[in-house]
Chain A
Amino acid sequence: MADIANVHGGNPHSDGGTRRDFLVLAGTALGAVAAATAVWPLISSMNPAADTLAAGGPVDVDVSKLAPGQQIVVMWRGAPIFVVNRTPEALALLQKPDLVDKLRDPDSQVHQQPTYADNWHRSADPQFAVLVGICTHLGCVPNFLPKPNPTSPSADWPGGYFCPCHGSKYDLAGRVYKGVPAPYNLPVPPYNFTSKTTLRIGENPTGVAFELSSVQQM
């Protein structure tokens, strides 16, 4: 309504300029906040939905059905979980100095497992290995080759995991060998035994807080 010429420079008094500056700054700041507020739901919607999170709940496995030396693979949160009923011979092999010398991280120094698997057998119960079956190199699923073999997949194979993609080798506790592309041991998921025969994958024993996402590398 006012004379147009007046709009250009604002009020000829000196306070007019600062008032306009304040309005422009405040308006721009509010606009930026509004834009961020509007964008947030869009970004958030790309995170796992409630049903996806619910589907990532714990999975129960009856381990009494496992024969000695047998492995089963359980899907949990879209990842293959190896569950192995290790024989006494296999456990003895894990402690042999010959083998331990060839391993990159035999004592599980790197955080790839919960505290209850911070040991030479990398498990809560020495008999049962519970491992995330994803190679720490580039994410392939390693093959389970428990029997010793003089030539295949490599010379003097003592039994363990062999990744078909780039030849990474792990022992039956998921400990990685030296001189292979994979840098870390296979991760261990959170789990506990709710009874003598029931393994619950995805839930820690009471009193322990461990998230699989906290490991050095999946």
Chain B
Amino acid sequence: MASTTSGDRPQNRFVQWVDYRLPVFTFLNHELRDYPTPRNLSYLWNFGSLAGIVLVMMIASGIFLAMNYTPNDTLAFESVERIMRDVNYGWLIRYVHMNGASMFFIVVYIHIFRGLYYGSYKAPREILWMLGVVILLLMMATAFMGYVLPWGQMSFWGATVITNLFSALPIIGPKIVTWLWGGFSVGNPTLNRFFSLHYLLPFVIVGVVVLHLVALHQHGSNNPLGIDKKGKQDSIPFHPYYTIKDSFGLAVFLLPYAFLVFFYPNFFGEPDNYIPANPLATPAEIVPEWYFLPFYAILRSTPDLLFIPSKLAGVLLMFGSIAVLFVLPWLDTSPVRSGRFRPVFKWFYVSLIIDAFLLGYVGKHKPDATLFGIALPTIGWLGTLWYFGYFLVILPLLGFFEKPLKLPTSISEAVLKKGAGVASGAA
């Protein structure tokens, strides 16, 4: 408290000595204390730093798991069971890592949907947004390969199904699949390379996160009003105001996380993955982890499209559902960032959330099931069309047809005007 900075220069002589040679303290001071942050950020702005903390927890727990894990098709399952039974606190470290993946995706999905609502992808934050999409893709690859490592039934058959997606590509497809496997089927070479990449990719994610932060600090955080800061009165220093808010958010976040780890560690898991991988017996039902379900639904529900067979069409649309996010900043033609001031957008946004859950439901259940008497593939296809319609049709058109509400003149004015005025959007 009494140590470092009251003004611009550090007070402590040792800190001064180091800082003169390696300006870490100046850097931290600049990026945390001097860094002006909008004074009106809501709790939805906690999820960025939360994602960063979960990434660190995943890397830390993963490094210790790797000390006891054996990436070999005859030993992998046993080594995971040994972690669970014999290694000191191995069960805890593995459950923290396993459930950490789910918590990571929950945090990141909330982070993404926050950005979608408040227009955080709009100028001048397009590259910031695109780097975020890169992180999402890397996370998906990392999570998928991590799920293969225990070498249970779901690991094996999940790997088989997902790698086989690439066989849908014409001409080169089968060659790519063989290349991915390093053999004639998913086997030991596949497991080895997945382990290698599962260890590497998180550090690649760290690298992209650094770029994400550099891009963020260039123009600062967006805010619930979606308007730019106009002066000192609109912002407060990141430290201590948002460091303490992020710490509090972390403490709240750790409660359900710990509850999962200690009371329902296999809540998100599939029991079949506690059966060793068997290349001769496919499980009755192959379900991906919950965070892939909407994408899995798109993959399964896409019918034949013109001359493209449904298998290839499904693969293209599944990857397309992420690819469309890359160009989102140029699809949304409205100059208004925050959904608070967009009366029509608001409802379409809600429909996108419902659509995501609907697709998740379709991905979770068998394709021959029905919902409200309608076959799931039909619902899945409609959901897929709605997803792409939102980005490719509705957002471009809304900018022209929607009449946004009047924006507040400044953040401080809106904040200091107490009461219901701001929140309801009636201002």
Q: Which residues on A sit within 8 Å (CB–CB) of B89? A: 41-42, 44-45
When the two chains form their complex, are residues B93 and A42 in contact, meaning their CB atoms are under 8 A apart?
yes
B82/A47 in contact, CB under 8 A: no
In A28-52, which residues have CB < 8 Å from any B CB? 31, 41-42, 44-47, 49-52
- B88 contacts A41, C-beta separation under 8 Å: yes
* Partner of B1 from A24, A42, A52 at Cβ < 8 Å: A24
Q: Which B residues lie within 8 Å of A24 (CB)? A: 1
Q: Do B85 and A50 touch (CB < 8 A)? A: yes
Residue tally, chain B, CB below 8 Å to A = 19
Given A31-B247, A45-B64, A50-B87, 20 other A-B contacts at CB below 8 A?
A41-B93, A42-B60, A42-B64, A42-B93, A44-B88, A44-B89, A45-B67, A45-B68, A45-B90, A45-B93, A46-B64, A46-B67, A49-B68, A49-B86, A49-B87, A49-B88, A50-B85, A51-B82, A51-B85, A51-B86
Minimum distance in angstroms from B86 CB to a CB of chain A:
4
Residues of A within 8 A of B324 (CB): none
| Chain A residues, Cβ within 8 Å of B67 | 45-46
Chain A 1-59 residues near chain B, CB threshold 8 A: 4, 7, 21, 24, 27, 31, 41-42, 44-47, 49-52
- Closest A-B pairs by Cβ, 3 of them: A41-B89, A49-B86, A50-B86
Neighbour of A41 across the interface among B85, B92, B241, CB < 8 A: B92
Report the Cα distance A50→B81, complex, angstroms. Answer: 12
* Inter-chain residue pair count (beta carbon < 8 A): 43
Interchain nearest-CB distance for B226 vs A (Å): 21
A50 to B86, CA, bound (A): 5
**Per-residue contact bits, chain A 101-143, to B (CB 8 Å; 1 contact, 0 not):** 0000000000000000000000000000000000000000000
Contacts of A49 in B (CB 8 A): 68, 82, 86-88, 90
Does B394 reach chain A (CB closer than 8 Å)?
A: no
* 8 Å CB interface, A159-216 against B: none
Does B325 sit within 8 A of A, measured CB to CB? no
Indicate if the CB atoms of B39 and A4 lie closer than 8 Å: yes
Separation in Å of the A53 CB from the closest CB of chain B? 9
Kindly report which residue of chain B lies nearest to residue A40, judged by CB atoms. Answer: B89
Which residues of chain A have C-beta atoms less than 8 A from B85's C-beta?
50-51
Q: How far is the CA of A141 from the CA of B82 in the complex (A)?
A: 32
User: Which residues from B are CB-within-8-Å of A51?
Assistant: 82, 85-86
Residues on A with beta carbons closer than 8 Å to the beta carbon of B61: 42
What residues of chain B lie closer than 8 Å to A42, measured between beta carbons? 60-61, 64, 89, 93
Task: Give the residue name and chain of the A residue nearest to B418 (CB).
Answer: A1
A190 to chain B minimum Cβ distance, whole angstroms, is: 24
A42 to B58, CA, bound (A): 12
Establish whether residues A47 and B88, one from each chain, have CB atoms under 8 Å apart when the complex forms.
Answer: yes
Main secondary structure of the interface of A (DSSP, over half): helix
A-B contact pairs, 28 of them (CB 8 A): A4-B236, A7-B241, A21-B1, A24-B1, A27-B247, A31-B247, A41-B88, A41-B89, A41-B92, A42-B61, A42-B89, A42-B93, A44-B88, A44-B89, A45-B64, A45-B68, A45-B89, A45-B93, A46-B67, A49-B68, A49-B82, A49-B86, A49-B90, A50-B85, A50-B88, A51-B82, A51-B85, A51-B86
Contact flags (1/0) for B88-102 with A, using CB distance below 8 Å? Answer: 111011000000000
A-facing mask of B140-177, CB < 8 A → 1, else 0?
Answer: 00000000000000000000000000000000000000
Q: How far is the CA of A7 from the CA of B93 in the complex (A)?
A: 40
Chain A residues, Cβ within 8 Å of B60: 42
A7 to B236, CA, bound (A): 11
Which residues of chain B are within 8 angstroms of A4 by Cβ–Cβ distance?
39, 236
Min CB distance, A185 to chain B, in Å?
Answer: 34
Q: How far is the CB of B253 from chain A (nearest CB, A)?
A: 13
Residue pair B86, A52 in contact (C-beta under 8 Å): yes
Cα(A210)–Cα(B39), bound, Å: 66
Q: Which residues of A contact B86 (CB under 8 A)?
A: 49-52
| Residue in chain B with minimal CB distance to A39 | B60
What is the CA–CA distance of A29 and B92 in the complex, to the nearest angstrom? 24
Q: Across the two chains, which residue of chain B brings its CB closest to A41?
A: B89
Contact A45 B87, beta carbon cutoff 8 Å? yes
Residues of A with C-beta under 8 A to B64:
42, 45-46
Bound: A50/B67 CA distance, A: 15
Chain B residues whose CB sits within 8 angstroms of the CB of A7 once the complex forms = 241
CA distance A44 to B64 in the complex (A): 10
Q: How many Å lie between the Cα of A49 and that of B82 in the bound state?
A: 9
| 0/1 string, B222-253, CB within 8 A of A gives 1 | 00000000000000100001000001000000
A41→B61 CA distance, assembly (Å): 10
CA distance A204 to B327 in the complex (A): 73
Q: Mark B64-85, 1 if CB is under 8 A from A, else 0.
A: 1001100000000000001001
The CA-CA distance from A61 to B241 in the complex, in Å, is 69
Q: Which residues of A contact B236 (CB under 8 A)?
A: 4
Contacts of B241 in A (CB 8 A): 7
Complex: how many Å from CA A49 to CA B60?
Answer: 19
Q: Which residue of B lies closest to A20 (CB)?
A: B1
